[in-house]
Amino acid sequence: RIFNYILAEGMYISGGAINNGGNLLQWFSANMLRKTSVAGEDFEDFIEEASQVPAGCEGLIFLPYIYGERAPVWDAEARGVFYGINGTHTIAHFMRSVLEGVSFALYGILNALEEITGSVNNIYASGGFIKSGKWVSLVADVLGKKLLITQAEDSSAAGAAIVGMKALGIIDSFAGVKSFFEIKSTYEPNMSNHEASKKNYLVYSNLYDQLKDIKK
């Protein structure tokens, strides 16, 4: 379900990459909301409207495999599903379910990591989504973990630079790299929201296995 890459003697990086993240907000905005002017990572209006819906989306669940998926299913033919739709759901419910679906994908990878490597103590978030505090809070709630935001918005590039510094002998080990990063903000999870989301996640985690063998 996850990858393991060697960084140095006796040190590995374990994790999982997903295909479906901010691109789903673009997809939903363009095709469901017909907002062709939405571009890049400017989704504050989307996130604001979605945030009006309570955690758990009142039972609406989104399997976010619109573009196939890597971790944890590794299936290019995987597809998306809205599940549990009823007459009380509005467009805002669908919008929040998209955000929760992406968060559930991350939660699945987190669970796999903890099964294999032990408890995850710190989560450092980076990427375009950290520009929205409400989106970061939603992810923290779903994961049930504290999220730490540093000044390095592109952690992949920062990590590559650190590996290069180690290879060139500029630093002796990775032990001291924490000093390179300053924590800008911390997001604590709302555990009540976590429990509400977790009920949906239990259904979400079974949807792919239940549907993957259904043929057209």
**Lookup: tokens for 113:** 């990591």
The pLDDT value given to residue 215 = 60
Assign 84 to helix, strand or coil: coil
Ranges of residues in the chain with a pLDDT under 50 are none
Asked if 142 contacts 200 with a C-beta cutoff of 8 angstroms, the reply is no
DSSP state of 61: E
- The β-bridge partners of 124 are 148
The pLDDT value given to residue 159 = 86
The pLDDT value given to residue 76 = 94
**Residue 54 CA to its chain's centroid (Å):** 19
